Amino acid sequence: MSDAEHPSKSASPIASAPVRRVRQGPVMPIGGAEEKSVDANDSILERFIELAGGKKSRITVIPTASEDPEEAGQRYVKVFGKHGLDNVEVLHLEQRPDANDQKSIEVIERATGIFITGGDQARLVSMLSGTRVMECIRERNAEGVIVAGTSAGASILAAHMLVGGTGIAGKSGDASARKAMVELVAGFGLLQDVIIDQHFSQRGRMGRLLTAFASNPGLIGIGLDEDTAVVVDRGGMLEVLGTGMVTIIDGRNSMSDYFERNPREVLSIVNSSLHVLGPSRKFNLDSRQPIPFETNA
């Protein structure tokens, strides 16, 4: 790692531990609505293909979250085909026992890149969490296979998965952070100590990310805009891809009144760190610090 990728020596120290990481390969959460055209320069999908092995990639698409998995799977087969790939396989899981079937495991084992589509986050959890397919995805990623997910598929990559509100505190798109606005469930655990939300700016989701953040002190909240992704490498270095921004909230030193409030009440959160990063910017998850960059000031 170059000196440029280390936190600035002049930056104020933060009394915090690094984000814990299991042994992992590259992980790529995508905020949804990613550019799919082959004409797009440095597109998110092109980087995914590069990390999966280029034109020799063997991609497994998992469309389980979609309302129409068959259509979603074939759509991405066509998308990757336009990018020059002819070895794309769709893993169809119609019910939870399918995710424990040996034939499903063999599909994952053949892949050099795994792509999880968007849709219903609750469906992903109910169909995949705790199954042999989930464990196989973890194992393949530890071996170096890139795992990407878009929209709902992005949220499940972390250990903590944010899902829509229970209805106790109203719509989860409320701009204000309110107790019980959202709930967290277990994700795949490819990224530890992280919460990921998607369609972030487009759907005004700062309130719900802050709610999850307040109820789970110490986590890092990552909000991904549409056509925006982050790729996290083995060393914990996060890089922003795409055309939008990434919002990062660090809560190691923050305090809130979450557990003193009643459902629906607005929360107070203090001493948290907010970072907003555009394309190509980097953030070190181990030090919880952005990588310095040149300014014109």
pTM above 0.75, yes or no: yes
Instruction: Specify the amino acid at residue 205.
Output: R
Residue 3 has pLDDT above 60, yes or no: no
Query: C-alpha distances in angstroms, 268 versus 56, 198, 249, 260?
Result: 51, 23, 15, 10
> Is there a contact between 174 and 207 (Cβ–Cβ < 8 Å)?
yes
Q: Tokens in use for 43? A: 């597109």
For the stretch 244-256, pLDDT in tens is 999 999 978 889 9
Q: What is the pLDDT of residue 174?
A: 66
| Average pLDDT, rounded, for the chain | 90
- State the pLDDT at residue 40: 77
Active site residue 37: no
Active-site residue among 43, 155, 172, 199? 199
**Quick check: is 83 catalytic?**
no
* Three-class SS state of 133: helix
pLDDT of residue 20: 60
Q: Which domains does the chain have, with CATH numbers?
A: 21-283 (3.40.50.880)
pLDDT of residue 13: 44
Query: What is the structure's pLDDT at 293?
Result: 80
**CA–CA distance, 71 with 79 (Å, rounded to integer):** 12
**Sign of the CA dihedral running 189, 191, 192, 193:** negative
- Which residue among 160, 226, 239, 256 is the active-site one? 226
Say how many C-beta atoms besides its own lie within 10 A of residue 34's C-beta: 23
The pLDDT value given to residue 42: 79
Instruction: Classify 19 in phi/psi space as left (phi over 0), alpha (psi -120 to 50) or beta.
Output: beta
Which residue among the candidates 57, 66, 129, 151 is catalytic per the annotation? 151
92 catalytic per annotation: no
Q: CA separation (Å) from 220 to 17, 47, 106, 168, 229?
A: 12, 24, 34, 25, 16
pLDDT digits (tens, 9 = 90+) for 72-87: 999 999 999 999 999 9
* Confidence at residue 171, expressed as pLDDT on a 0 to 100 scale: 61
